[in-house]
Amino acid sequence: MIKYTLIAIAILFIGYHSIEVKPLDVVKKAASQKLDAVDFARTFLTKTLPPALEKAMPIQNLVAALISDKNKAFNELSHAVSIGNVRHFLVKGEGVVSKITEDEVVILVPNQNKNLSLRLATEFIYGNSIRDAAGLFDIKNFTNNSDVNNIASEINKIIRTEVIPPFKQQVKVGSKVQFTGALEMNQEHPQTDNLEILPISIQL
């Protein structure tokens, strides 16, 4: 009898310590603290970023600033979450479409002596440029790198699926285009020609 009582007590003891019981509201709260990258990306594009777009640097001015004083231009105008040479600029411009390919739309932006030729990406919209260009994304708010990466990925996905398709449907050679976008550049080897811009907003 004593033997069975001891076994029962042992089973109860092990069973009790094998299970952790938490109130449902605590579990729900913990689950809700997981980042929803899709929701964050949409809020970023619709609420966080728009005020900054109005202050984006005209692309001609940025090119002039880079030619005049590269280091000053990078220090004052570029942003990046990562440490290193890869930096991002928030830019805007207006030009005329000169060429349309499967992956990009080439536009000519009037500049001092000759037009500035830019490539607006319409296919390969990847990377961190749109997330980082305005300097509004603070990595100190995140402890998990996968959240930081997922946000960039979802931002790009929204641009690819919602901004690009209507633009590609309507754009023609000769169309006038207004855009805001993000420009990635390597600080060690900046290039001021053949620039590729990832669009954030486009108007025909």
The yes or no reply on residue 153 touching other proteins (CB under 8 A) is yes
CB of 14 to other proteins, least distance (A): 26
**Residue 140 CB contacts under 8 Å (≥ 6 apart), including other chains:** none
The yes or no reply on residue 71 touching other proteins (CB under 8 A) is no
CB of 198 to other proteins, least distance (A): 11
CB of 26 to other proteins, least distance (A): 20
DSSP assignment string, 101-161: -SSEEEEEE--SSSPEEEEEESS---SSHHHHTTS---GGG-S-HHHHHHHHHHHHHHIII
Among 83, 73, 194, 68, residue whose Cα is nearest residue 132 = 83
98: enclosing H helix or E strand = strand 86-100
The yes or no reply on residue 152 touching other proteins (CB under 8 A) is yes
Judged by CB under 8 A, the stretch of 35-43, 69-77, 164-172, 186-194 that binds other proteins is 186-194
Rounded CA-CA distance 27/12 in Å is 25
Q: Are 159 and 123 in contact (CB under 8 A)?
A: no
The yes or no reply on residue 146 touching other proteins (CB under 8 A) is yes
The yes or no reply on residue 30 touching other proteins (CB under 8 A) is no
CB of 79 to other proteins, least distance (A): 12
197 phi and psi angles, rounded to 5 deg? -115, 135
The yes or no reply on residue 86 touching other proteins (CB under 8 A) is yes
The yes or no reply on residue 41 touching other proteins (CB under 8 A) is no
Among 41, 59, 62, 80, interactor with other proteins by CB under 8 A: 80
Bridge partners, residue 119, by sequence:
106, 196
Residue 5 or 145: the one with the smaller Cβ distance to other proteins is 145
Bridge partners, residue 118, by sequence:
107, 195
Binding site for other proteins (CB under 8 A): 80-86, 124, 126-128, 139-140, 142-146, 148-149, 152-153, 186, 188-189
